[in-house]
A and B are shown apart, each in its own frame.
Chain A
Amino acid sequence: MKIKKQLEQKDNNTKNTRREFLKKGVLAGVGTILAGGIVTSFNATASGKTVNVLGPDGKVKTVAKEHLKDIGKKTEAQLQKAGREGIPNRRWVMVIDLGKCKNDQRCMEACQTHHQLWTSKDGKGDKVQHHINVHELKRNEKSGGFFMPKTCQHCDNPPCTKVCPVDATYKRDDGIVLIDNLRCIGCRFCVAACPYSARVFNWHNPKDEEKYADKKYNVELNVPQKRGTVTKCVFSADRLREGELPYCVSACGNGVFWFGDENEDAVTNGTTKETVRLSKLLKDNAAYTLMPELATRPRVYYLPEKDRIFPFESKKKEGDVNHHA
């Protein structure tokens, strides 16, 4: 666990108390973790080779080496199974602070890099794919414009998973909506059903296909991408499994993204690494979700762009239309 995320607990007027957030939960769940290994037994064996590991009680223990299972090398079947099950006891949530976004698009770049997506820089003008996109919007004629990063909303009542004929796209217990590129038949019904235009399709051969040719398919990363299937934001489930923040969240330099666990009621800022109470953040900042009239119940919250920290400069040309505010 590289990052220790801290929770700032501002209890009324008393001074801050801190406690461990992500790290603690992950450790408690598995028992013992060391350098990507899981202890399968604490009995010593014949080979005599041992390693020291940190136990759940906080004490160092010595275990036989062969009882350390390497979780870095999961088989594809194991990855698929884990990808269906989700991360226990978690309810992932994202909060996006619109007042801080200045359309740097570093989130988009990081996302495209890690998810093997075509970008506008690949010199192929007709192939651009986004899991996260930054929109330029205006709430009405008179109000100022703002930039809105938009991921998959990971709805609790997702219209996309309902319509999938083969259960290729599904909702996990930890709140993430995933898509299994090995099962998807490419009917694009989910694309039609998603009101947020969050889903993209692999119309062409995926970018750098040869480079990824012998990589194991990881459903939590959607990589290697498969032609003829749908792909979309997965909340960087592969990173979450390692106790890290999603790629886009860590890439932003402006403090736009908060990410965390609803069960713990804590979210961590990707830029400042500050951890706060989710409920308080939402309550104090008039948080809202996109298109609530559809009752999709998104897991992504937005904080309105009041008190922008950057002056807004439109990137749009005359005549562009906003269909929705």
Chain B
Amino acid sequence: MSEKKSLNKIVTDLTKPIKNHRWFMLWILFLLSVMGFGLFGWITQLTEGLGSTALTDYISWGLYISGFIFFVATALIGMLISSVLGLLGIKWITPIARIAELIAVGFAMWAGLIIVFDMGRPERLLNVFIHGRLQSPITWDVTVVMTYVTISILLYLLPLIPDMPFLKKTMTDAPKWKQKIYSILSFGWVGSPEQYKIIKRSIKVLAVLIIPVALAIHTVTSWLFAMTPRIGWDSTIFGPYYVTGAFVAGGAAVMIAMYVFSRTYNLKEYITDFHFDKMGKLLVLLMLVYLYFNINEYIVPGYKMKQGDDIHILNLFVGHNAKLFWSVQICGMILPLILFLFKRMRKPLPAMIISIAIVIGAFFKRYIITVPTLEHPAFPADNVPAEYLIYWPNWVEWSITMMAIAGAILIVTILAKLFPIMPIWEVAHEEGITNEEMNEFEV
């Protein structure tokens, strides 16, 4: 790594992007227009009912539910990076942990909203709390998603506290409301040894807490499927299968964000080739585990070809879903896995491009898990139009899903504009700067 950076440099480098608004408004405008279109889609759906989507009595879960799993999956990376790796004392995650946490917050929040878009009666949402039943996996899901969002927000906010004095001191020309936020969020931080002790301990407690919650949120999400007796969903490995798949999706999302932030925020000195290399290696490991679960999930029923299973497996392997199935398996998992084995491919640009393929693959993989199973009801779809068994999401569903994606990115963008993308104090610690030096910091 490069030679030691001074505290002054760190603070300037990390706060500059917050002040610099080039392209920012344009980007926000773009996200808002995507969301505006999605809002139009949602209003259409609210006035005409879910009938305005391509869903039918047979394919009654489609893009929204696939999107929901994708969002929960992506959000899970926060737990892996800032919590598991952090607790293991792995140092290279310092500059990217907050990025992972941002993705966790943004995507977990929108995961909850997607469920509302999927509801036939969104105005009855409160029924889940009024009449909630413990034995329904949806109740479990709602509970753990809310817990995960809460802990993720705390895990984002707590490490912000020691950064606030730096912001207050450097952002003197920022608007009043911004300074007010900085004051409030500093919670009287003066940087005493006592305070450092407390904050480190609280972060540790949260980091431990979030591990079971994160495992629960995605396991329960997989149970929405695995708890039904349907061929293709009726699987005992769905929990770990989903969790490992989630880390792959989230890891790739972090890689993309690392690229974007290191370039637009001019932080190449902080997020270096070394970090991309490490993330690439981490993804190789994650994808190997995911591949292993995929082999189990498809080869085991595929070998036996029991009645019912055979239709499902053949449909995926050689039937009308084969193109999509092999595309996501090859472009979204196998090829990236092989490519990331090469050091050259773990350089920032190729790593980012491969990660985009992984994320797109991850999205459609959720579709492949959700929809084809429903295309094969146990009893034929008699006396209904043939279209009832054919599904491809229409514009209403796409626009609303796009709104969710844009919305999650919007949260990430805005938070990354309000606060530094890396914890100044932790980066400073890594550079050997003491707490006293930080406390005495003046512009």
Residues on A close to B: CB < 8 A?
Answer: 105, 108, 120, 125-130, 133-137, 150, 159, 162-168, 183-189, 191-193, 195-197, 199-205, 226-230, 291, 294, 320-324
Does residue B345 face the partner (Cβ distance < 8 Å to A)? no
- How far apart sit A94 and B6, CA to CA, in the bound complex (Å)? 82
Assess A150 versus B120: contact at CB under 8 Å? Given A162-B135, A165-B128. Answer: no
- CB of B402 closer than 8 Å to a CB of A: no
Question: Ordered nearest first, which 7 A-B pairs have the shortest CB separation?
Answer: A186-B120, A228-B120, A203-B51, A165-B138, A204-B51, A165-B136, A166-B131
B211-254 vs A: 1/0 string, CB under 8 Å?
00000000000001101111000000000000000000000000
Q: Do the beta carbons of B138 and A187 come within 8 Å of each other?
A: yes
Residues in B neighbouring A126, C-beta threshold 8 A: 385, 387
Given A159-B229, A294-B229, do A184 and B379 touch, yes or no (CB 8 Å)?
Answer: no
Looking at the assembled complex, report how far the CB atom of A188 sits from the nearest CB atom of chain B, in whole angstroms. Answer: 5
B61 touches A184 (CB 8 A): no
- Closest chain-B Cβ to A110's Cβ sits at a distance in Å of 15
Do residues A227 and B384 form an inter-chain contact, with CB atoms below 8 A?
no
A137 to B382, CA, bound (A): 10
B409 within 8 A of A: no
A203 near B55: Cβ-Cβ < 8 Å: yes
The CA-CA distance from A168 to B409 in the complex, in Å, is: 36
| Min C-beta distance of A297 to chain B, whole Å | 13
Query: Is there contact, CB below 8 Å, between A134 and B49?
Result: no
Report yes or no: A130 in contact with B383, Cβ–Cβ below 8 A.
yes
Known A167-B133, A187-B119: A196·B228 in contact at CB below 8 Å? no
Residues of A within 8 A of B149 (CB): none
* B36-79 at interface with A (beta carbon < 8 Å): 48-51, 55-58, 60-61
B318 on the A face (CB < 8 A)? no
Q: Among the listed B60, B382, B387, which residue makes an inter-chain contact with A136, where contact means beta carbons less than 8 Å apart?
A: B382
Cross-chain contact A197 with B136 (CB below 8 angstroms): no
A166 engages B49 (CB within 8 Å): no
For residue B377, which residues in chain A have a CB less than 8 angstroms away from its CB? 197, 323
Taking the closest CB of chain A, its distance from the CB of B379, in whole angstroms, is 5
Residue of A nearest to B225 (CB): A192
A127: chain B residues at CB < 8 Å are: 51
Q: Is the CB of B228 within 8 A of A192?
A: yes
Query: Could you tell me if A228 and B121 are in contact, using CB atoms closer than 8 angstroms?
Result: yes
**B50 and A203 within 8 A (CB):** yes
Question: Known contacts A134-B382, A136-B382, A188-B61; is A203 also within 8 Å of B119 by CB?
Answer: no
Contact residues of B: prevailing secondary structure: loop
CB of B383 within 8 A of CB of A163, answer: no
State A269–B319 Cα separation when bound (angstroms): 45
Within the complex, the shortest CB–CB distance from A245 to chain B, in Å, comes to: 23
Chain A residues near B229 (CB-CB < 8 A): 159, 193, 195, 294
Q: Which residue of A lies closest to B137 (CB)?
A: A163
B380 to A320, Cβ gap below 8 A? Answer: yes
Residue from A129, A159, A196, A197 having most chain B Cβ neighbours under 10 A: A197
A195-B376 contact given A162-B136, A229-B121, A323-B308, CB 8 Å threshold: no
Minimum CB–CB distance for B247 against chain A, Å: 26
Q: Is B374 an interface residue (CB 8 A)?
A: yes
Q: Which residues of B contact A324 (CB under 8 A)?
A: 308, 378-380
Question: Does any Cβ of A come within 8 Å of B139's Cβ?
Answer: yes
Which single member of A183, A192, A294, A322 contacts B124 (CB below 8 Å)? A183
Closest to B56 in A: A203
Decide: A227 and B382 in contact? CB cutoff 8 A: no
Q: State which size class the interface on B falls in.
A: 35 or more
Chain B residue contacts of A205, Cβ below 8 A: 49
30 contacting pairs across A/B (C-beta < 8 A): A125-B385, A129-B57, A130-B383, A135-B380, A136-B382, A164-B133, A165-B133, A166-B124, A167-B133, A185-B125, A185-B127, A191-B57, A192-B60, A195-B230, A195-B378, A197-B378, A201-B50, A201-B60, A202-B120, A203-B55, A203-B56, A204-B51, A227-B49, A228-B121, A229-B121, A294-B229, A320-B380, A323-B376, A324-B308, A324-B378
A165-B128, A227-B120 given; A323·B311 CB < 8 A:
yes
Q: Does B432 contact A (CB under 8 A)?
A: no
| Complex: A227 Cα to B135 Cα, angstroms | 26
Contact A196 B384 (CB under 8 A): no
Per-position binary interface string of chain B over residues 386-399, scored 1 when its CB falls under 8 Å from any chain A CB and 0 otherwise: 01100000000000
Measured in the bound complex, the distance between the Cα atoms of B124 and A321 in whole Å is 39
B49 to A, closest residue via Cβ: A227
Closest to A204 in B: B51
Cβ of A183: which chain B residues have Cβ within 8 Å of it? 124, 127, 131
Contacts of A228 in B (CB 8 A): 49-50, 119-121
Question: Taking A192-B374, A203-B51 as contacts, is the C-beta distance between A185 and B230 under 8 angstroms?
Answer: no
The answer to whether A130 touches B60 (Cβ under 8 A) is no
If the complex has contacts A185-B120, A195-B229, A229-B120, are A321 and B380 also in contact, measured as CB distance less than 8 A?
yes
Q: Are A166 and B50 in contact (CB under 8 A)?
A: no
Give the shortest distance, in Å, between B42 (CB) and chain A (any CB): 14
Complex: A216 Cα to B341 Cα, angstroms: 67
Check B118 for interface membership: any CB of A closer than 8 A: yes
Nearest-CB distance from B373 to chain A (Å)?
Answer: 9
Residues of B within 8 A of A125 (CB): 385
